[in-house]
Structure 1
């Protein structure tokens, strides 16, 4: 898988001045465009589109400083329809416009070419199972929160506190299947990005086969709104881990995308990512199950 990812990176480098076809990158990597974007963002820490933009303007900056061609010629070479559009994009990355950079010898920002290498990770086995799950519903309270890869997510904490235990207690009896009890579910609002701070749709509630009772739906309108989402039948990869919150849960997501997907014949598909967290033993130790929608590769 790493070889195929690096072949895709070579393709980006050869065509960085033109429009990058994500479907072609996915074909090279032998996966879907959706999964390629998600995997790239997780491994690289920035969205694919942002990486391409930075690489394009890094190469353009080299030509600007070389002073062998006009700024308009450089702008056209790198896909900008006008000098003004090129100048805006250049300033967004480098902090100065191309004309100013050429005159003053300003300090510019370089985006190095990325390659993916095998490191000594994955020495700890990951517990997982594959589950075929029929259609179900997610019932709960929802909001938008930013992705936080490490440490406390203040937005989630504030939202959970605002819901309160009483409202969740009314939903809990509707939990009638795995994963049981109160769960959280996230779904990226931008499928191409899993970068720090990227927005995700966040829901706290239950997994159920039942429709939302009318009395809860009516009450929910006045109480932040009880959301109802039907999730189609599909294949789920379920990962289990125990440890201290929130790092253990965050590390599951990290390890799945950086280690498990590249090593197993599955790819991620659009859908909610569901986390169950239950107390385990004494203190703050928690037992986690992460449910991710997947499909076989190939």
Structure 2
């Protein structure tokens, strides 16, 4: 199943469950992807979150139901996941700018958000910088892990780094870095889970540095087997261009190794990198 087929399978799942409970993990599974990565892909490519897309589609379908049936408003609200008519009315008016009851009046203008469809657009106006790094030896990292909710990773991970700066943990890692440099992952790193396919509701985010000596008593170590990585500058922008431009036509797919956010020190032209584990298709 190629990249486009995976996304269309996920959209099929959503469309078939608009009047049922939608588990984000099941949507990601339909795309043969982890929930963590799928949510990043979706929001990066579309510019809206997965939850917002589902909300818009449900309220679009609800408007059609109100127009074409005699069903009670509360029944339609319950059908699309709203516990009360008041909650449904608020959400409906926010999207359509009219109340659900007014839909059955003639001449009412509504907004329809159609089902999305994915296609690859070939772009050549802005180059995409990347490099392939093959780590031939096992890498040992020392630091601390924190539990992160998969659905809130975008907010929780930056908060962890802010806290580490305030309590001195970040500086401790900086002092340990470059003790025995032997590869290009020598600054601060954030290692996401145990492998690229994060399917659980909670995963471990490991904040640390590459370090070969005995770890301090308040830290632990993890090891990553020899792997091949695609390395992209600028973590925030890298996710969008990775999935929409690079991965679909690269001849690679994600490997079962952790993704690594690499934060470089002062003096580097590039502030941070995204290291994505890959294997040839």
TM > 0.5 between the two? yes
1:1-298 aligned within 5 A: 1-20=3-22, 25-26=27-28, 29-32=31-34, 34-64=36-66, 68-80=70-82, 82-83=84-85, 86-87=88-89, 89-90=91-92, 98-99=100-101, 110-121=112-123, 124=128, 126-131=130-135, 134=138, 136-139=140-143, 167=172, 170-172=175-177, 174=179, 176-185=181-190, 187=192, 203=207, 205-214=208-217, 217=218, 228=220, 230=222, 233=225, 235-239=227-231, 241=233, 248-263=234-249, 264-267=251-254, 271=258, 273-277=260-264, 285-286=269-270, 289-292=273-276, 294=277, 296=279
Q: 1:161 to 1:121 in 2, by over 3 A?
A: farther
Secondary structure (helix, strand or coil) at the match of 1:181 reads coil
Aligned length: 263
Secondary structure (helix, strand or coil) at the match of 2:76 reads helix
Q: Tell me by how many angstroms 1:55 deviates.
A: 1.0
Contact kept, 8 Å, 2:41 with 2:240, in 1: the verdict is: no
Q: Tell me by how many angstroms 1:2 deviates.
A: 2.0
Structure 2 residues without counterparts, runs of 5 or longer: none
Q: Given the two structures, how large is their TM-score scaled by the length of structure 2?
A: 0.64
Q: Given the two structures, how large is their TM-score scaled by the length of structure 1?
A: 0.61
Contact kept, 8 Å, 2:231 with 2:275, in 1: the verdict is: yes
Contact kept, 8 Å, 1:179 with 1:276, in 2: the verdict is: no
Structure 1 residues without counterparts, runs of 5 or longer: 193-199, 218-226, 242-247
Q: In structure 2, how many angstroms separate the alpha carbons of the residues matched to 1:82 and 1:161? A: 43
Q: Tell me by how many angstroms 1:230 deviates.
A: 3.1
Contact kept, 8 Å, 2:57 with 2:115, in 1: the verdict is: yes
Q: In structure 2, how many angstroms separate the alpha carbons of the residues matched to 1:202 and 1:32? A: 18
Secondary structure (helix, strand or coil) at the match of 1:256 reads helix
Q: Tell me by how many angstroms 1:60 deviates.
A: 0.9
Q: Tell me by how many angstroms 1:271 deviates.
A: 4.2
Q: Tell me by how many angstroms 1:160 deviates.
A: 5.2
Q: In structure 2, how many angstroms separate the alpha carbons of the residues matched to 1:166 and 1:279? A: 13
C-alpha RMSD of the superposition: 4.9
Contact kept, 8 Å, 1:7 with 1:28, in 2: the verdict is: yes
